[in-house]
Structures are given as C-alpha cells and as structure tokens.
Amino acid sequence: MSDCLIEEQPEPGMIYAPDIWNRIIASAHKYAEPGIAFIDQVNRHNHMMASMGPIYASNPCGEQFLHFSNSCNLGSIDLSKFYEKHGDGTNANECVNWERLAHTTHLCTQFLDNVIDACEFPLDSIDDVVKRTRPVGLGIMGFADLCLKLQITYGEPDSIALMDKVMGFVRKESWKASLKLGQEKGTFPEFEANREAYAKFLYEEIGISRDVPLTPRNYETTTIAPTGTISLVAETSSGCEPNFSWAYVRQDTIGTRTYVHTLAAEALGITVDQTDEESIKKAAQFVVENEDKLPKHFISALNITSKQHVQVLAAAQKNVDNSVSKTCNGAKDDTVESVDELYRLARDLGCKCVSYYRDGSREGQVLTSMKAEEKKTEDVQTSEDTVGQNQEYMVVEKQKEASEHIERPRELQGSTWRIPFDGQNLYVTVNHNGEKVMEVFATGPISEGVGLLASKMLRGGFDVKDVARSLNKVTATHAVWF
C-alpha cells in the first residue's frame, strides 16, 4: 500500500483508493487476511536505492523486504536467557546481562555472515545478489518471557520502553560487529555505490562513533522473524509476540500436542517436566483451572488490546533494519472500524507492515487455548475453541461415522440451476435417488473439484446439511453459498 494510494485522489483511469482500502479492512476483519505493507515506508529506509532501486515486496511473514533474487539469512537471540535476578528482580538495567548480550550479538552476526559463504543457493542469480549484499537478519525471541521475569506487563508503557531499549542495543551491537568484520574481510560489494546513504544511516541514526571506519560487511543486520518452531524448541516466547496462552493445543502437520508455559506453572507453585507428555498435560490442566491466580503481569495475547500490539510492533520496528513479523490479535467482537483504526495507527507509528487476527475468524487455527472445562463427546466438538473445529479433522471424524459407502445407481433424477456468480453464470446440478441427494456437479467460476468432493461426501454417508455447511465456508471475492 503506497502513500499516494491512501491519501491522494485518483488520476483518470485509476481505481478509487478508499474502495480498495475498505475491501482490505473488511477482509482482514472477516478472514484475517490480508496484512498490509506500507511500501513507501519500506523504501524510505532502503539504503540500497542508489544501486539496486526500490523494493517491491516481502516474504509472506513480513519480516524480510528484499530486492529481487535476494535471500533472507535469519537467526534469533533468546532474550529471556540473559535475565539474572538482582535486587527485587524488576530493574532491566541490573537484571539483563548486557555484556553477555553484546558478546552473543557479535558472535551471531559473525556466524550469519559465515552462513552466506557456506550456503549453496539454488539459482545463480540468488547467489550473485546475496554475495553482493551479504544480508544478515539477526533478531530476537523470548521478549514476552523477559517481560514476565522482570514483572512487566506486555503492552504497557514499560514493555514498550524495554523493547525500545533491548532491540536498539542488539541493533547497534550487531552493526558494530559488521563494521569490525568489514575491516577484517572487506565491505559488501554494493557498499561503495551507496556509501553516502550508509554514512548518514550508521553515524546519525544508529549512533556509531565517527571514529569508527565506515566498513560495513553486510547491507543490513537486524530483523524480527516469527520463530514459531525454534521458540518451541528453546521453550521461550516467539519473536516479539506476547505469549498466546499459558496452556494451549498446537495442531500442525505433525499432529496435535499440548503445551504449558513453564513460568506460569512455576508462578502457581508447580513444576513441569517438558520432556514428559503426562506431566505437561497435568500441568496444563492445573494452569487453566487456576489461571485467575496468576500475577497480573501474566497477560496473554488475546487480553492485550490491538492498539497495544501495534505500539509494541512500532517500538520493535524503530530499532530494526528490515522489518518485523507480528500478529496484532483482536477479540471476537472487534468491529471493522476497529481494524481500520489499527491499520492506520500502524502506518502513523512508522510500521513497515501489519497483520491482524480476530479470534475465531479462521477455522483450524494452529494454536487453540485450553479451557478449564472441556466437554468430551464421541462426536466432533463444535465449539470454536476446540481443535475439532478444523475442517480436515471434521472430515476424518465424519468418515468414521459413515457406516458404508453408498454405490451410485445407474440412473438418478435431478435438476440444474443457473446462478449468477461473480459476473458469470454458475450451473449447479443436484441429483438424488428419491430419498437423498447423491451427487452435485458445478460448472463455472468454481473448480469442478467442489462438485466432485461434494458427491464423494454424499455417497460416503455424510448428511446433505453437513456437506452444505462445510461448503458454505468456501470464500471468494463475492458471497458464496450452497
């Protein structure tokens, strides 16, 4: 989304910008897509403009805006591991081991620079651009857990100040490391063509002393990635995100697993063995039953306002070379207007991109909070807060319920309807055996696969209402119904 698209009246032949904006906002509210990238803000901080031109897009998560054929090169430091309690344990200046964090930042920057030379890239064009720019994307995880240890409430002013301080520190130390590497190994090849931009950036914005030679080894050094999987391995909070929940179910391609937050369990006076599934499940149930007894600074993602999410995002973006991947969570009853305000606030605060997720706006969400009371039934659970709401899961369970496959008779009766759809005509044929619907054929702007799938489900013993209910969840640019 460019500045002119939002603010200026369209030239002849152009689409009226507010129409696009309103459609984006409405879709984000309903489906949690799309996020927005403010591309002019991205290019205001593009120090490679002189030799490589503007940037046009990012990776799907939004933390890496790259020139054509470039590659991200990511690593993350777990901030919570640098907490050392002194005094009452709430003073970040005393309780964060800044010296050790600086050493780790230098080590990680050097490591990621070495990764560039160790990698074999899939295309010559990628190898060429990466070697000419030498991108390093060092970021953080464990920020929310650091807040917990410091007894800071995520989203409150103290947490925003902490983000500003810690990410600013990591960024400056990473650039110090890159400048030192540049003295030892040489600058990145595209540097000379962009020397003026980097002199202003490093000396004036980052605050590097002018006594330090201008020898950057890398064209950038910092970003903040989602760190979803690696944060699970490290048993820490992901990226710059708040903790999603203190006990939750995660569903992915590997399966469904229960997680419980160690610090929450300890705050309630229990221990958990994170290598033992039974221990995890017992601790998780205890935590959800006693969540109201947690200290006030234990606040999860859905209890933080979307405005607070954006303010933390902005504090992180202020201290990152590239961009930040962060989801701004919203409540189920958020309005379209509140999403509009959130996206505009992100732009006003200098964010390069922003994404929004309204609780319950997607089925089969990866993370689902556990509840203190969960009803167990033999059928598929219908609560929006259960894993059973996932569509694939529903299909598997319904297949178990179907007694047997119903063979298609040689002859069926049916009717065909012509339905105006998306500026075209959709032809839907429904055939039955006199007692129940057996098959559906659809031709037009929807894939014939929908009809085939519906027919298979019907002949597999599914109730026609269940099939229609599932197909009503298909989305498009216009209303879709079955």
Residues annotated as catalytic (active site), given as ranges: 59, 61, 63
Element (H, E) at 137: strand 137-141
- What's the CA angle centered on 286, arms 283 and 290, to 5 degrees? 140
CA distance 476 to 33: 12
* 8-state DSSP, 55: -
Structure tokens at 382: 């219908």
Backbone angles phi, psi at 338, to 5 degrees: -70, -35
Three-class SS state of 329: strand
| H helix and E strand count, the chain | 18, 13
Three-class SS state of 77: strand
CA distance 47 to 54: 10
- The burial class, CB within 10 Å (0-12 / 13-18 / 19+), for 327 is buried
Only one residue has tokens 């940037």, namely 55
Only one residue has tokens 């405005």, namely 307
Instruction: Outline where DSSP puts E strands in 344-388.
Output: 353-358, 367-369
- The burial class, CB within 10 Å (0-12 / 13-18 / 19+), for 296 is exposed
Using an 8 Å Cβ cutoff, are 199 and 214 in contact? Answer: yes
